Structure 1
Amino acid sequence: MEITGYELFAVPPRWLFLKLETDTGLCGWGEPIVEGHAKTTRAAVEEILDNYLIGNNPMEIERHWQAMYRGRHFRGGPVLMSAIGGIDQALWDIKGKRYDAPVYELLGGRARDRIRVYQWIGGDTPEEIADAAEAAVDNGYRTLKLSAVSQFRRIDSPAAVHHARDRLAAVRQRVGDEIDIGVDFRGRVTKAMADWVAAELDQYDPMFYEEPVLPEHADALGDIASSTKVPLAIGQRLYSRWDFAPLIEDGVVDIIQPSPSHAGGISEVRKIASSAESADILLSLHCPLGPISFAACIQLDMVTPNSIVQAQSLDIDQPADNELLDYLDEPGVFEFADGYVTPPEGPGLGIEVDEAVVREQAQSQINWQNPIWYHDDGSIAEW
């Protein structure tokens, strides 16, 4: 078997899908995307495929991963690792279809039957975010996640800190103590403010604090950990086992959050997860992306003992009307119940992409960019 061609599809709202073709007719799908850098990521995928992968045997996944990574003098970073990640997903999809087995069977078989999922909730006021939390719980979620702050100054006021506290307090009061609540700082809080914000939120017993500081300031995590009882999570903006190694070795983080679409695909995230398991660090795969990336996450969750909860942006209440699931032949392939998802049973990633819908949507002109925020003095704020 050899790889004979590929197609890339930029589709709404901000994703890039890869279809990898072989001479046997088997095709694999992957999702190589850096949100806001779709054109750049697309060029990286094309460069790798055109200069190396076309004509090779898709079964030799580890050899190809090493060639895509080590065969380049300059390596790592979000764009190159996301390009590798989407290609790697497509290779595993092909291999699973070749052997008529889900990817998790090829990786050793299930460590669990289902994985808990969480729902992101938002709202401008404490009451609005509490309403969103109540609706999510009514829809079956037992785990929620919210942003601690929106735009935040480098040294902000007591009022801003109290607003963050009041948002979490409103949610906790509305949903009670049986519901887990993750709190995402999104790297918007400086080292100077992180301890203060955490101290105000601790009393409401969050499940974890995500990105309490930017990953480039991960050296501050030890100080934050010593001043809070809440587990710390980080990793959506780390891209390889070498990026995660210092955090795992130092034991300053409790939960890591790699994405199979950003951190080198299924092959690399499996290694990151195993390294974390050896240090008693938990895993929560990051996935604010499309159905292909989500399928890759679920395959990994099934074989990863230290995986505790899966990020997702699917609407489990009305899956037939959800834009993410419109890209699939069978929108109900992800079976949600009681705040958990059960993996698809089909071969490869377990999904069948509706190629007609993908091609139709790819006619749209997609150029999603995150907003740029400014402080009152005109300087750039963290988004």
Structure 2
Amino acid sequence: MEKITNIDILELGSPEEKSSPWSSTILILRLTSSNGNVGYGEAPTTLMTHPVLESMKEVSRIFQDKDYYNIEANNREYYKNAFYISKSIEETAALSAFEIASWDLIGKDLGTPVYKMLGGVFNDKIKAYANGWYSDCVEPEDFVSKAKKLVNKGYKAFKFDPFGNNYDKLSTEGLKHSVSIVSKMREELGDDIDLLIECHGRFSTKYAIMAGEALDPYNPLFIEEPVHPELEFGLYDFKKYVNTPVALGERLLNKEDFARFISSGMVDIIQPDITNSKGILEGKKIAAVADAFGVPVAFHNAFGPVQTAATLNVDYTIPNFLIQESFEESWPEWKKSLFTGYTIENGFFRLSGKPGLGIEVNEKILNESRTEAMEPLNPNEPPWVVSGTFKQ
């Protein structure tokens, strides 16, 4: 029996992170097995780095000395002990990191990529959409100028939040300004570029509908989290008036959550996050639930390179894959160089095909990036927005 013999929980970060304050720190898990192989996982951090880190310590008490091939049994053992896990993103995030690292170990033991253990390649081209690219963009011309630079690199899809500092409500001026940004993007980039509208769950239902109706004419691929997450029943009203597909899922924590949203018709495109919804196998199950209802999948992916690699391994295998989020163009250099093993070429992701997640760590950068800091807290804008955009 191969087992987990050593567990290292590493917080990394740097003040170089300018675009995405929510991921200025990342949590990397390193599992060492009894045969000497090393597997990596990752947990999300959005203003919860230290709580998630502490939860990872709790999960380690369950996983220490366990046979890491027993993915289902180990997850269920933690589930049995973690009384609040169905509602605690700190716990599901911590558990996800261990699940991902277990798959990395198994793949390295067997000499095969994780995606080959999940059904093999179904999608040989993984279309990326750029996010995080629009830091300090306020006026329509700002957005267009930065987007065109990425079009020149081959990107054909862009997600962005055009709503400035409007929160809960959307002012008349705020609505006009948002429309001016989206209309200018469509006019300048053309109809062959996908526009994805990010709301960050910031609106009450009435104002979400106002925004959705106003942006419908510009044919977005989807509008993400249009209403506050606790107002999910407002999505029924939203969908009565707005034609743009609704996407959500980064705040849902398991396949049961997704089954409820999908079966009740509240969502058109799901966005699970591999690093907070119990990992790779649960992600595959969530995609299967969605496929049964004809719902496409666009995994949320806003943190670090281990998350990206884990997500791509699932993307390769699912028939209902739609598009994949990418922040790579806005990452600071240390994060870009922390792991190697996947590439983005002409707007498409490709994995290396190496065993496990397919990635290799740069030990020097890993050691130099260690920190114990909390994420920055800017009194002028919340940490979930792209930097410099929470203004009108």
* Structure 2: tracts of 5 or more residues without a match: 14-23, 383-389
Which residue matches 2:54? Answer: 43
Q: Which one has more relative contact order, counting CA pairs under 8 Å at least 6 apart?
A: 2
Quote the offset at 1:34 in angstroms.
2.8
1:215-254 → structure 2 map (5 Å cutoff): 215-254=229-268
Quote the offset at 1:372 in angstroms.
5.0
Quote the offset at 1:178 in angstroms.
0.5
State the alpha-carbon separation in 1 of the partners of residues 379 and 233 from structure 2: 26
State the alpha-carbon separation in 2 of the partners of residues 322 and 206 from structure 1: 31
Which residue matches 2:73? Answer: 63
Query: Which AA in structure 2 matches 1:59?
Result: Y
1:1-383 → structure 2 map (5 Å cutoff): 1-12=2-13, 13-50=24-61, 52-76=62-86, 77-120=88-131, 121-122=133-134, 123-315=137-329, 322-328=333-339, 330=340, 333-362=341-370, 364-371=371-378
Range with greater deviation from structure 2 (122-131 or 69-78): 69-78
Q: Does the CA contact (< 8 Å) of 1:236 and 1:258 recur in 2?
A: yes
Which residue matches 1:380? Answer: none
State the alpha-carbon separation in 2 of the partners of residues 370 and 305 from structure 1: 40
Q: Does the CA contact (< 8 Å) of 2:103 and 2:357 recur in 1?
A: yes
Q: Secondary structure at the match of 1:303?
A: coil
1:215-236 CA deviation, whole Å, 9 max, x = no partner?
2211111211121221110011
Q: Secondary structure at the match of 2:210?
A: helix
The list of structure 1 runs, each at least 4 consecutive aligned residues, that deviate by more than 3 angstroms after superposition, is: 153-156, 369-375
Q: Does the CA contact (< 8 Å) of 1:114 and 1:343 recur in 2?
A: no
Quote the offset at 1:369 in angstroms.
4.0
State the alpha-carbon separation in 2 of the partners of residues 104 and 370 from structure 1: 38
State the alpha-carbon separation in 2 of the partners of residues 89 and 154 from structure 1: 36
1:282-341 CA deviation, whole Å, 9 max, x = no partner?
11111111100000010010011111111111129xx9x83322112x4xx323222111
Q: Does the CA contact (< 8 Å) of 2:164 and 2:174 recur in 1?
A: no
Q: Secondary structure at the match of 1:186?
A: coil
Q: Secondary structure at the match of 1:269?
A: helix
Quote the offset at 1:374 in angstroms.
8.2
State the alpha-carbon separation in 2 of the partners of residues 110 and 370 from structure 1: 42
Range with greater deviation from structure 2 (93-102 or 213-222): 213-222
Q: Secondary structure at the match of 1:118?
A: strand
Query: Which AA in structure 1 matches 2:364?
Result: A
Q: Does the CA contact (< 8 Å) of 2:115 and 2:314 recur in 1?
A: yes
Quote the offset at 1:108 in angstroms.
1.2
Q: Secondary structure at the match of 2:11?
A: strand
Q: Does the CA contact (< 8 Å) of 2:269 and 2:298 recur in 1?
A: yes
Query: Which AA in structure 2 matches 1:73?
Result: F
1:139–1:100 Cα change, 3 Å: same
Matched-pair identity in %: 27
Quote the offset at 1:353 in angstroms.
1.2
Q: Secondary structure at the match of 2:223?
A: strand
Q: Does the CA contact (< 8 Å) of 2:4 and 2:67 recur in 1?
A: yes
Quote the offset at 1:148 in angstroms.
3.0
Q: Does the CA contact (< 8 Å) of 1:154 and 1:190 recur in 2?
A: yes
Aligned length: 368
Query: Which AA in structure 1 matches 2:9?
Result: L
Q: Secondary structure at the match of 1:67?
A: helix
1:107-159 CA deviation, whole Å, 9 max, x = no partner?
11111112100112421111101111111111110111110312214333211
Q: Secondary structure at the match of 1:19?
A: strand
State the alpha-carbon separation in 2 of the partners of residues 164 and 198 from structure 1: 11
Q: Does the CA contact (< 8 Å) of 2:29 and 2:98 recur in 1?
A: yes
Q: TM-score, normalised by structure 2?
A: 0.90
State the alpha-carbon separation in 1 of the partners of residues 381 and 280 from structure 2: 37
State the alpha-carbon separation in 1 of the partners of residues 300 and 170 from structure 2: 28
Which residue matches 2:16? Answer: none
Quote the offset at 1:72 in angstroms.
2.7
Quote the offset at 1:365 in angstroms.
4.2
State the alpha-carbon separation in 2 of the partners of residues 42 and 191 from structure 1: 35
Quote the offset at 1:56 in angstroms.
1.2
State the alpha-carbon separation in 1 of the partners of residues 167 and 39 from structure 2: 45
Quote the offset at 1:245 in angstroms.
1.9
Quote the offset at 1:46 in angstroms.
0.9
Quote the offset at 1:93 in angstroms.
0.2
1:171–1:350 Cα change, 3 Å: same
